[in-house]
Amino acid sequence: MARKMGFYGVIAYVLYGFAVYWYLFYFADSSLPFEFEGSRADPATFLNGRELMLSEEYSKVRNLLFFLSTPFEWLFYFLILLLGLSKAFKKWGEDTAKNKYGQTAIYLIWLSFFAYVVTFPLSYISYTLSKTYNISTQSFASWMKDELIDFWINYAMMFVIVVVLYWLMNKFKRFWWLFAWMLSVPFTLFIMFLQPVVIDPLYNDFSPLKNKELESKILDIAGQANIPAEHVFEVDMAEKTNALNAYVTGIGSNSRIVLWDTTLNRLNDDQILFIMAHEMAHYVEKHLYIGIAGYLFLSLFGLYFVSRLMNWAIRRWGKEFKLQHPGDLRSLPLFLIFLSMIMFAASPVSNLVSRYQETRADRYAIEMTDNTDAAISAFQELTKAGLSQVNPPWLVKVFRYGHPTMLERISRLEDYEVEKRNAQEGEY
């Protein structure tokens, strides 16, 4: 039975892969609606023929990798259970260490190592793809360094989570999911507090913005918005990428406004001020805290459904999975499968909320700066630097886009321009 389940799992993944490939390369339509042709949202007005071709090629392959990678992890964990590897990892831990913490640590290192090795080809393809299309400028050694940092940070956090999670599963068999959620609230806030000062500096160098004149302009906008910012930070990204970015990170006293140096090098002051006003809007409208609340709300239901699904799966296929109850550490791959599935299924909702917040931030930024030319040209430069599709296919937008499409963002700015012009004419 286990062999048959594994065979069907592989076949299902292959069929899914072909379906995604057919959708992205033959069925999906990313062409511009005719009413936007010739507008400033039309990529033909700011990209040359080669850039248009490259953006379509790059986006299709990158989207394919996205849709293949998460279900590939489900298949991997499914086979780990069916082939008895999860049982073997636990036995190796028990044979090597005497206490539960040591056994869990050894189990996790084997599971993490196998997962990293199996998923490495997809990660490497993604890296080489971005290098081929001149998005990434990162050397292989630097990329591997970041990969290893990722591995050990994820391992450390996973160890803490798994130790607590399985203690709760065995202590509170019916309501472990509720207690796990309650503990996840302070843990999530703690990680977000540490992110800008402990985790992010492991990957890149951060420093106060060197251009003090620009920093003064940015802080002036922050002051108008009653944002208690004393510094703007820049991060050295030019050695890794040609893409552009800016963001607000952290919570409380550790909040930071951050600009990539690639953004500073490629955009002028007016364009940067619009982007900064956009980021400040997230602070003003408390999007970060709304996002945290939404994440915690979804995680409550997610953990509940995971507990129900694990009980159902073990009752039905416990023999094939070599599992008798959810509190057995060997059930971790099953937990990860269901958690990932629920997060993937919920991503259209979370992306929808995020796109709404980003639309609000765009509106705030244009009202604050009142410079549509700078805003539109900034979005055009972001599109060009990242070889992004202006009008991505519907499924790509639903599952991948936490921001509105560039077609939506630029066309809304043009609408704002018309509204402003009409309002001025009405005054006369």
pLDDT tens per residue across span 98-139: 888 999 999 999 999 999 999 999 999 999 999 999 999 999
Given the residues 279, 320, 381, 415, the one annotated as active site: 279
Our answer to whether residue 362 is catalytic in this structure is: yes
Average pLDDT, the chain: 90
pLDDT at 289: 82
Angle in degrees, CA 138, 143, 146, rounded to 5:
130
* 3-state SS, one letter per residue, for 161-172: HHHHHHHHHHHC
73 is in an annotated binding site: no
Q: Is the pLDDT of residue 253 over 70?
A: no
- H-state helical runs in 172-240: 176-194, 212-224
**Domain assignments of the chain as residue spans, ordered by start:** 2-28+39-205+285-427
Given the residues 215, 328, 362, 408, the one annotated as active site: 362
Our answer to whether residue 415 is catalytic in this structure is: no
* β-strands 246-249, 233-235 pairing: unpaired
Q: Is the pLDDT of residue 369 over 60?
A: yes
Task: Report the SS3 class of residue 393.
Answer: coil
* CB-based contact 406:377 (threshold 8 Å): no
- Mean pLDDT of the region 42-67: 92
358 is in an annotated binding site: yes
278 is in an annotated binding site: yes
pLDDT at 181: 93
Phi-psi region of 113 (alpha: psi -120 to 50; beta: other; left: phi over 0): alpha
CA–CA separation, 224 and 286 (whole Å): 16
pLDDT tens per residue across span 381-424: 999 999 899 999 999 999 999 999 999 999 999 988 888 777 66
CA–CA separation, 329 and 327 (whole Å): 6
pLDDT at 268: 92
